Structure formats: C-alpha cells, structure tokens
Structure 1
Amino acid sequence: MVKGRQGERVRLYVRGTILGYKRSKLNQYPNTSLVQIEGVNTKEEVAWYAGKRLAYIYKAKVKKNGTHYRCLWGKVTRPHGNNGIVRSKFTSNLPPKSMGSRIRVFMYPRFSTHHRFTLLHHLLIQSAAFLPPRPPNRTVTPPHFYIRTTGYSTTTNQTVSRQPTIAHLSTTAPHLTHQSDHQFIRTKPPLPDTARSTTPSSDHTLCHGFSRSLLIHTICVT
C-alpha cells in the first residue's frame, strides 16, 4: 500500500524564459544572460529572487552517465530594467540555441541551512592567531643545527643526551631561538660557560603548545 502525501504541496521552482545575452549599443556579453521570470513584472518583485539558483536543462547528442540530458547551473545576479527581467551568470556561457528556451528558477535558499561551511582562508586566519609571531624584516639564514622531534643524527656520530628537556636546553643552549613548532635555529655563537647567566636568554622563546616538561627526542647537527 502506497502511503499518501501528507501536507501541502511545495513548489521548488518557477519557470522562466531565456531572452538572450546582455547587449549594449556595440558589444554583446555572452557571460551574462537575461531571464524573464514567470509572474514577475516589477523591479521590486525581482529582489526576492536575487541570488537564487538557475538550471538550464538541455539535450545533448552524446550519452553521458546514462542520459542525454545536461544541466547548466547559474544564479540570479541583479535586476535588468524595471519590468521584471533579471541578469544571470552560469558556470559556462549559455549557447545561442538557448534563446527562447525554458529555465528553472529555484525558490529554496541558495545556501544550505543544515550544513555550515567555512571558507578555508577564514580557518587560516583563525589558526594564525595561535602561531608564534614572525620577526619583521628578518631573513632566516641556513641554520647550523636543528633540534627536532623526529630523530637524532650527526655528521660526526657524536654521543649526546638522548632526551634533553626544553628547560635543560634553555640553560645549555641559550643561543637557540624558535623557528617553527618542531625546529630551533642558532642565532648567535654559544657563550662560554663562565659568561653564561643563570637566567634564560631572551633569544630563546618557546612555542605556544610546548611545555617545560616536553621531551625533545633528538638533536640534529648539520
């Protein structure tokens, strides 16, 4: 038994007619098409359709994905004149044979209200607030040695402590400064043991997310 329809009918789109390309006295703009929406006759009524999606469905000769029909998607950009005609742009320019054809103007919102999408550059701006500031007008030269969290290797196979802590590095290697989350670079020659102070050097900065008890696994000398 087929379940009957419940509730009132919902109209998903209204019909429209493609009038042609936008034209001036001397030029033609094929990237902008003019559409007359059915039942819209004034400029004020066009305001509700601003940004709505358009679908131009046509039949092609070559079968693709099991069908001969194709669909070009577009959107209403702005009104054109005062008699209800709108300007529209599509993913690709409409062919000349589309003039006078029917088009569907969808009435549901152009953005999904159930799924919220965030632009990538907004995420990058938000994540940049958690990164350490970059020194202005400073060129980074190739570092003499690195401290990484991936492994330990030296050119002379020297034996060094396997798990030095950041607190230990602040006193034994105060000439290191932070470059990235897992990398420190040498900025000045190491001081003699007699010239080192008990307080950590100002050139040694910690990354945001590092703690004093974090163990760095390796020191890599280049």
Structure 2
Amino acid sequence: MSDIVIGLKGSIVNYRMSKKIIHPRFSILMFDGITTRTDAGKKLLGHTVHWTTSSGKVMKGKITRVHGNNGAVCAHFKDGGLPGQAFGTKVTIVK
C-alpha cells in the first residue's frame, strides 16, 4: 500500500451482483486515474474508504478485490452495506 492514494476520490457504481442475488454489503467503486486492473490491484487493495450520508453519518468499508479489467474495485461495508441513494456519490480513501 502506498501513501499516494490517501485522499483519492472515487464514485460508487453499483452493488456486487450475481445472476439471482444482490450483495448489498459489497459495492463496486471507480476511482479517478485508475484505468487498468493492475493499477487497481497495486494501488488500492487493502485501503479503507469512507462515505458520508446526508445526515452526516460516516460509513467505512475496505477495498477487498479488483472487479473487471477497467480499474473497478469491490469494497466491503460491514455495517449493513450502503443504501441505494449512495450510487453516483463520492467516496474518499482515508487509510
């Protein structure tokens, strides 16, 4: 893990899904400047992300794996997952 990505902003794209099941505790994230699978794996894995609700509550998740070939990653939010209103909003890497 490098300290260069601290403060990097990304957006929430969707939940992780299979053919019949939606996994709301896992969210797919895209970050600015990360365009390949290898960049995402080297720079983002293991970092903690924060998302702030409109009421000010902070939800944190951990980036666990790479999703696809275009630099997307999956983050695990243990506290019940993110609501649907979070799609398209920003997350920030804090640790």
Provide the TM-score with structure 1 as the length reference.
0.39
Which residue of the partner structure matches residue 50 of structure 1?
45
Selected match of 2:66 from 79, 90, 94: 79
Letter in structure 1 aligned against 2:33: G
Selected match of 1:99 from 83, 87, 92: 87
Shift of 1:91: 2.9
Call closer, same or farther: CA 1:82–1:98 in 2, change over 3 Å. same
Q: Give the Cα separation in 1 of the matches to 2:89 and 2:17.
A: 18
Higher Cα radius of gyration? 1
Q: Give the Cα separation in 1 of the matches to 2:5 and 2:62.
A: 18
Query: CA contact under 8 A between 1:22 and 1:28: conserved in structure 2?
Result: yes
Shift of 1:38: 1.2
Structure 2 unmatched runs, 5+: none
Which residue of the partner structure matches residue 21 of structure 1?
15
Call closer, same or farther: CA 1:11–1:26 in 2, change over 3 Å. closer
Q: Report which structure shows greater RCO (CA 8 Å, sep ≥6).
A: 2
Q: SS of 2:57's equivalent?
A: strand
From the two aligned structures, give the one with the greater strand fraction.
2
RMSD: 1.6
Q: Percent identity?
A: 27
Q: SS of 1:97's equivalent?
A: helix
Q: Give the Cα separation in 1 of the matches to 2:37 and 2:76.
A: 18
CA deviations over 1:134-185 (Å, ceiling 9, x no partner):
xxxxxxxxxxxxxxxxxxxxxxxxxxxxxxxxxxxxxxxxxxxxxxxxxxxx
